[in-house]
Amino acid sequence: MKDEMQFDGGVYETLPASSYWDDALFRSERAKIFRRSWQLFGHVNDLPNPGDYRVEDISGSSVIVMRGQDGEIRAFHNVCAHRGHELLQGEGCTKKLTCPYHAWTYDTTGKLRAAPNSGNFPGFDKDKYPLKQVRLEIFMGLILVNLDSEARPFAEIAAAAIPEIQEYAPNLGNYHHAARTERQANANWKVVAENFNECYHCAVVHKTLTTGVVDPDAYRTRGHSYGIRHVSPARPDERKSYSYVADPTAKTDKFLTWWFFPLFALQIYPGGIVNTYRWKPVSVNQTKIEVDWWLPEATPNVVEAEIIHQHRTTTFAEDGPIVDSVQRGLESGGFDTGPLLVDAGCTSQSEHPIMAFLSQYRDAMA
């Protein structure tokens, strides 16, 4: 693929331990990275009807994503333009947004339609006080938001990955939410990101994954400008751990992951079964992890249910105590920096994905 990062074999160095527990640094990361990055919100089929909405915290800002009465999906800061009161909570369906404080009322395009007694305020112009929009893009049905109004378009950032995603998940835009696995890790978001992207630990920790899903000898990860790509051929039928059909013609014969710096990933399991990962840094040493499965139907079939359960009870469950333990070690005072080991072939037994992550991280913090 284009823009692939290259690393020479050798011994490099991790970030210092304080990078994973320093509150001031975490606040700087929120300002410089999270609030300037495209983050996964959901899927267009989560909001099927005019007026459907959901409210979520996005890196410290409450954001409404809503399908307007005109059918268009928009994102707004969940803040009344009058005095800053929040407008909505949770999720639901509405034809208008009325502030609980002074009853200023907006339509689903964000335009202010009514304000009590406004006819008696000389010079008051409702057109001057719409809801403040948040950048939103729809990528193959996935809803992405960005708090930075000047951010590069996601389609431009992800350009090197898009053709392959379209090839292996061509119908993602029509898929439905079928299941979620979630956990709050007691670990810094960078610990979680590094663990997700390197497979040096896979044969030790993820025995079901490496014996029944991916081929550790052929598993490859490479850094790109958008993030990190993972790829492996599926295991042969006699070794597979769930009942997928690996068909090269149907593009169901690979394990693929595109991790988009810094906080979400799209993943395809053999059999063409799709999930997304979303990471939500809660504090310097807490990260909420959400894995959502997007399938042709909202109810998983037998094979889909197999891998959802397998993932939940093996790979996902196995990573939990690993990242929590690393965080405790980093905070213990017994660790400063450690070696990052890169082999010349950048195989699955190499930590070059962390090198790629650190390159992206340092560029974002510069």
pLDDT of residue 45: 97
Predicted local distance difference test score (pLDDT) of residue 84: 97
Q: Is the pLDDT of residue 1 over 70?
A: no
pLDDT digits (tens, 9 = 90+) for 225-252: 999 999 999 999 899 999 999 999 999 9
- In sequence order, which residues have a C-beta less than 8 Å from that of residue 254 and are 6 or more positions away? 168, 231, 232, 233, 234, 268, 270
- What residue type is 252 in one-letter code? T
Distance between CA atoms of residues 224 and 325, nearest Å:
29
CB 219 within 8 A of CB 202: yes
Whether 327 shows a pLDDT value over 70: the answer reads yes
pLDDT of 360 > 70? The answer is: yes
pLDDT at res. 213: 96
Report residue 66's pLDDT band, with 50, 70 and 90 as the boundaries.
Answer: very high
Burial 296-308 (b: 16+ CB within 10 A, else e): eeeebeeebbbbb
Query: Given this model, what pLDDT does residue 3 score?
Result: 81
| In the predicted structure, residue 52 carries a pLDDT above the cut 60 | yes
What's the rounded mean pLDDT across residues 164-174? 97
96, 105 Cβ separation under 8 angstroms: yes
What is the dotted CATH code of the domain comprising 10-35+157-365?
Answer: 3.90.380.10
* pLDDT tens digits along 81-116: 999 999 999 999 999 999 999 999 999 999 999 999
Domain boundary assignment for the chain = 10-35+157-365, 39-146
Q: Phi and psi dihedrals of 191, rounded to 5?
A: -60, -45
Q: Strand 227-233 vs strand 176-185: parallel, antiparallel, or unpaired?
A: unpaired
What count of other Cβ atoms lies within 10 Å of the Cβ of residue 5? 16
Pair 32, 56: CB distance under 8 Å: no
Query: For residues 239 and 262, what is the distance between their CA atoms, to the nearest angstrom?
Result: 34
Assess whether pLDDT exceeds 90 at residue 264. yes
39-146 folds as Rieske Iron-sulfur Protein (2.102.10)
Question: What pLDDT score was predicted for residue 2?
Answer: 63
For residue 200, the model assigns a pLDDT of 94
Beta strands in 80-204 (DSSP E): 91-93, 97-98, 105-106, 112-114, 133-139, 142-146, 176-185
Residue 65, judged by CB atoms within 10 A of its CB (0-12, 13-18, 19+), counts as buried
Find the DSSP H helices in the chain: 23-32, 154-157, 162-168, 189-197, 202-205, 207-212, 302-313, 315-331, 352-365
Q: Is the pLDDT of residue 282 over 90?
A: yes
Please give the share of the chain, as a percent, with pLDDT higher than 90: 98
Tokens of 346: 């950048």
290 neighbors 265 (Cβ within 8 angstroms): no
